Amino acid sequence: DGGITQSPKYLFRKEGQNVTLSCEQNLNHDAMYWYRQDPGQGLRLIYYSQIVNDFQKGDIAEGYSVSREKKESFPLTVTSAQKNPTAFYLCASSWTSGGREQFFGPGTRLTVL
Amino acid sequence: ELKVEQNPLFLSMQEGKNYTIYCNYSTTSDRLYWYRQDPGKSLESLFVLLSNGAVKQEGRLMASLDTKARLSTLHITAAVHDLSATYFCAVDSTQGAQKLVFGQGTRLTINP
Protein backbone atom coordinates (compact mmCIF):
# COMPACT_ATOMS: atom_id res chain seq x y z
CA ASP A 1 0.00 0.00 0.00
CA GLY A 2 1.29 3.44 -0.90
CA GLY A 3 0.99 6.11 1.70
CA ILE A 4 2.47 8.30 4.37
CA THR A 5 3.28 7.06 7.85
CA GLN A 6 4.02 9.10 10.93
CA SER A 7 5.32 7.91 14.27
CA PRO A 8 4.71 7.96 17.08
CA LYS A 9 0.97 8.61 17.17
CA TYR A 10 1.22 10.18 20.63
CA LEU A 11 4.33 11.75 22.15
CA PHE A 12 4.91 13.25 25.55
CA ARG A 13 7.80 15.59 26.14
CA LYS A 14 9.25 17.08 29.27
CA GLU A 15 10.21 20.72 29.18
CA GLY A 16 13.75 21.20 27.93
CA GLN A 17 13.81 18.03 25.86
CA ASN A 18 14.25 17.73 22.12
CA VAL A 19 11.99 15.21 20.39
CA THR A 20 11.95 13.92 16.82
CA LEU A 21 8.82 13.09 14.86
CA SER A 22 9.12 10.62 12.02
CA CYS A 23 7.52 10.94 8.58
CA GLU A 24 7.99 8.38 5.79
CA GLN A 25 6.32 8.16 2.38
CA ASN A 26 6.43 5.50 -0.31
CA LEU A 27 4.53 7.48 -2.93
CA ASN A 28 7.77 8.55 -4.65
CA HIS A 29 6.74 12.17 -4.11
CA ASP A 30 9.41 14.83 -4.49
CA ALA A 31 8.06 17.32 -1.97
CA MET A 32 7.36 16.88 1.74
CA TYR A 33 5.89 19.24 4.31
CA TRP A 34 5.37 19.65 8.03
CA TYR A 35 2.34 21.45 9.47
CA ARG A 36 1.23 22.29 12.95
CA GLN A 37 -2.43 22.37 13.97
CA ASP A 38 -3.64 23.87 17.24
CA PRO A 39 -7.10 23.01 18.61
CA GLY A 40 -9.89 24.53 16.53
CA GLN A 41 -7.42 26.10 14.12
CA GLY A 42 -6.22 25.63 10.57
CA LEU A 43 -2.83 24.30 9.56
CA ARG A 44 0.35 26.34 9.64
CA LEU A 45 3.44 25.43 7.63
CA ILE A 46 6.61 24.71 9.61
CA TYR A 47 9.10 23.48 6.99
CA TYR A 48 8.97 22.08 3.49
CA SER A 49 11.35 20.34 1.13
CA GLN A 50 11.08 20.02 -2.62
CA ILE A 51 14.17 17.92 -3.18
CA VAL A 52 16.59 15.77 -1.22
CA ASN A 53 19.17 17.71 0.81
CA ASP A 54 17.23 20.95 0.50
CA PHE A 55 14.48 22.47 2.66
CA GLN A 56 12.94 25.86 3.38
CA LYS A 57 11.38 27.51 6.39
CA GLY A 58 7.66 27.92 6.46
CA ASP A 59 5.68 30.45 8.44
CA ILE A 60 6.48 29.15 11.93
CA ALA A 61 9.93 27.51 11.74
CA GLU A 62 11.37 28.93 14.97
CA GLY A 63 12.10 26.17 17.48
CA TYR A 64 11.97 23.40 14.87
CA SER A 65 14.54 21.70 12.65
CA VAL A 66 14.33 19.19 9.79
CA SER A 67 16.52 17.10 7.54
CA ARG A 68 15.95 15.53 4.13
CA GLU A 69 18.69 12.97 3.58
CA LYS A 70 16.43 10.51 1.74
CA LYS A 71 13.56 11.14 -0.66
CA GLU A 72 11.14 9.09 1.40
CA SER A 73 11.95 10.55 4.83
CA PHE A 74 11.49 14.01 6.38
CA PRO A 75 11.91 13.94 10.18
CA LEU A 76 10.98 16.95 12.31
CA THR A 77 12.78 17.80 15.54
CA VAL A 78 10.96 19.93 18.07
CA THR A 79 13.68 21.61 20.09
CA SER A 80 13.62 23.05 23.60
CA ALA A 81 13.57 26.49 21.97
CA GLN A 82 9.95 25.90 20.91
CA LYS A 83 8.12 27.41 23.86
CA ASN A 84 4.64 26.06 23.17
CA PRO A 85 5.01 22.78 21.28
CA THR A 86 1.79 21.08 22.38
CA ALA A 87 -0.11 20.55 19.11
CA PHE A 88 -1.10 18.10 16.41
CA TYR A 89 1.67 17.69 13.82
CA LEU A 90 0.86 16.63 10.28
CA CYS A 91 3.26 15.56 7.57
CA ALA A 92 2.31 15.71 3.89
CA SER A 93 3.85 14.93 0.53
CA SER A 94 3.15 15.82 -3.09
CA TRP A 95 4.47 15.89 -6.62
CA THR A 96 6.09 19.18 -7.65
CA SER A 97 4.27 19.30 -10.99
CA GLY A 98 0.76 18.69 -12.25
CA GLY A 99 -2.01 18.99 -9.67
CA ARG A 100 0.50 19.01 -6.78
CA GLU A 101 -2.18 17.72 -4.44
CA GLN A 102 -0.81 17.19 -0.94
CA PHE A 103 -1.53 13.90 0.82
CA PHE A 104 -1.40 13.81 4.58
CA GLY A 105 -0.14 11.29 7.11
CA PRO A 106 -2.16 10.29 10.20
CA GLY A 107 -0.47 12.85 12.45
CA THR A 108 1.44 12.92 15.74
CA ARG A 109 -0.10 14.47 18.84
CA LEU A 110 2.64 16.05 20.97
CA THR A 111 2.01 17.02 24.57
CA VAL A 112 4.44 18.83 26.84
CA LEU A 113 4.27 17.68 30.45
CA GLU B 1 0.99 37.81 1.53
CA LEU B 2 -1.66 35.27 0.64
CA LYS B 3 -4.59 35.12 3.05
CA VAL B 4 -7.43 32.60 2.92
CA GLU B 5 -10.73 33.14 4.68
CA GLN B 6 -13.61 30.72 5.06
CA ASN B 7 -17.14 31.41 6.12
CA PRO B 8 -18.99 30.45 8.04
CA LEU B 9 -16.59 29.04 10.63
CA PHE B 10 -19.36 27.07 12.30
CA LEU B 11 -22.42 25.64 10.62
CA SER B 12 -25.17 23.59 12.15
CA MET B 13 -27.80 22.28 9.81
CA GLN B 14 -30.50 19.68 9.53
CA GLU B 15 -30.37 16.59 7.43
CA GLY B 16 -31.87 17.06 4.02
CA LYS B 17 -31.01 20.76 3.74
CA ASN B 18 -28.64 22.45 1.29
CA TYR B 19 -25.88 24.84 2.22
CA THR B 20 -22.70 26.46 0.87
CA ILE B 21 -19.30 27.10 2.43
CA TYR B 22 -17.30 29.98 0.99
CA CYS B 23 -13.55 30.32 0.60
CA ASN B 24 -12.07 33.71 -0.33
CA TYR B 25 -8.40 34.34 -0.99
CA SER B 26 -6.41 37.51 -1.35
CA THR B 27 -3.92 37.07 -4.21
CA THR B 28 -3.89 35.46 -7.63
CA SER B 29 -3.90 31.69 -7.71
CA ASP B 30 -5.46 29.05 -9.94
CA ARG B 31 -4.97 26.08 -7.64
CA LEU B 32 -7.35 25.43 -4.79
CA TYR B 33 -7.91 22.34 -2.69
CA TRP B 34 -10.68 21.19 -0.36
CA TYR B 35 -10.00 18.82 2.53
CA ARG B 36 -12.13 17.11 5.15
CA GLN B 37 -11.01 16.46 8.74
CA ASP B 38 -12.85 14.27 11.24
CA PRO B 39 -12.23 14.94 14.96
CA GLY B 40 -8.77 13.81 16.03
CA LYS B 41 -7.92 12.60 12.54
CA SER B 42 -5.79 13.73 9.63
CA LEU B 43 -6.89 15.55 6.49
CA GLU B 44 -8.57 13.73 3.62
CA SER B 45 -8.39 15.23 0.15
CA LEU B 46 -11.80 15.99 -1.37
CA PHE B 47 -11.30 18.14 -4.46
CA VAL B 48 -8.52 19.65 -6.55
CA LEU B 49 -9.54 22.71 -8.58
CA LEU B 50 -6.93 23.79 -11.11
CA SER B 51 -8.51 26.42 -13.35
CA ASN B 52 -11.09 29.15 -13.52
CA GLY B 53 -14.57 27.71 -13.78
CA ALA B 54 -13.52 24.27 -12.54
CA VAL B 55 -16.35 22.29 -10.99
CA LYS B 56 -15.97 18.94 -9.25
CA GLN B 57 -18.66 16.78 -7.70
CA GLU B 58 -18.54 13.76 -5.43
CA GLY B 59 -21.78 12.47 -3.99
CA ARG B 60 -23.53 15.28 -2.11
CA LEU B 61 -20.56 17.64 -2.32
CA MET B 62 -19.77 19.98 -5.19
CA ALA B 63 -16.86 22.41 -5.36
CA SER B 64 -16.26 25.26 -7.79
CA LEU B 65 -13.58 27.85 -8.43
CA ASP B 66 -13.86 31.43 -9.73
CA THR B 67 -10.30 32.74 -10.00
CA LYS B 68 -11.44 36.20 -11.11
CA ALA B 69 -13.48 36.64 -7.93
CA ARG B 70 -10.84 34.72 -5.91
CA LEU B 71 -13.64 32.58 -4.55
CA SER B 72 -14.34 28.90 -4.18
CA THR B 73 -17.54 27.34 -2.91
CA LEU B 74 -18.28 23.94 -1.41
CA HIS B 75 -21.95 23.14 -1.82
CA ILE B 76 -23.68 20.47 0.22
CA THR B 77 -26.86 18.98 -1.19
CA ALA B 78 -29.41 17.16 0.97
CA ALA B 79 -27.02 16.86 3.89
CA VAL B 80 -26.65 13.61 5.82
CA HIS B 81 -25.13 13.07 9.27
CA ASP B 82 -22.02 11.38 7.83
CA LEU B 83 -20.95 14.69 6.31
CA SER B 84 -20.39 16.18 9.77
CA ALA B 85 -16.70 17.20 9.87
CA THR B 86 -14.42 20.22 9.55
CA TYR B 87 -13.81 21.34 5.97
CA PHE B 88 -10.71 23.26 4.94
CA CYS B 89 -9.88 25.05 1.75
CA ALA B 90 -6.24 25.62 0.86
CA VAL B 91 -4.74 27.82 -1.82
CA ASP B 92 -1.46 27.18 -3.58
CA SER B 93 0.83 30.17 -3.29
CA THR B 94 2.10 31.02 -6.75
CA GLN B 95 4.99 33.12 -5.49
CA GLY B 96 8.18 31.12 -5.33
CA ALA B 97 8.02 27.53 -4.22
CA GLN B 98 4.74 25.72 -3.72
CA LYS B 99 3.19 26.38 -0.34
CA LEU B 100 -0.40 25.80 0.70
CA VAL B 101 -2.13 28.44 2.77
CA PHE B 102 -5.12 27.04 4.66
CA GLY B 103 -8.34 28.68 5.68
CA GLN B 104 -9.46 28.49 9.30
CA GLY B 105 -11.82 25.62 8.60
CA THR B 106 -15.60 25.32 8.74
CA ARG B 107 -16.94 23.01 11.42
CA LEU B 108 -20.08 21.44 10.00
CA THR B 109 -22.58 19.66 12.24
CA ILE B 110 -25.54 17.93 10.64
CA ASN B 111 -28.38 17.09 12.96
CA PRO B 112 -30.98 14.37 12.35
Q: What is the pLDDT along chain A (113 residues), one digit of tens a residue?
A: 669 999 999 999 888 899 999 999 999 999 999 999 998 888 999 999 999 999 999 999 999 999 999 999 999 999 988 889 999 999 999 988 767 889 999 999 999 88
Instruction: Tell me which DSSP letter residue B33 carries.
Output: E
Side-chain-facing half-sphere of A1: CA atoms under 13 Å: 3
* Beta-carbon count within 10 A of B80 CB: 14
Asked if B62 and B78 touch (Cβ cutoff 8 Å), the reply is: no
Phi, psi of B81 (to 5 degrees): -55, -35
A41:B105 CB<8 A? yes
Tell me if chain B has a CB within 8 Å of the CB of A99: yes
Q: What is the mean pLDDT of chain B?
A: 92
For residue B29, the model assigns a pLDDT of 82
Which of B8, B11, B26, B20 lies closest to B91, judged by CA? B26
For residue B93, the model assigns a pLDDT of 77
Q: Min CA distance, B91 vs chain A (Å)?
A: 11
**Chain CA centroid to CA A38, Å:** 14
How far is Cα B24 from Cα A7, in angstroms, rounded to an integer?
34
Interface test with A, best of B100, B101, B104 (most A CBs within 10 A): B100
- CB contacts of B97 in chain A (<8 Å) are 48, 50, 56
Tell me if chain A has a CB within 8 Å of the CB of B104: yes
Give the three-class secondary structure for A30. coil
Tell me if chain A has a CB within 8 Å of the CB of B87: no
Instruction: Tell me which DSSP letter residue B97 carries.
Output: S
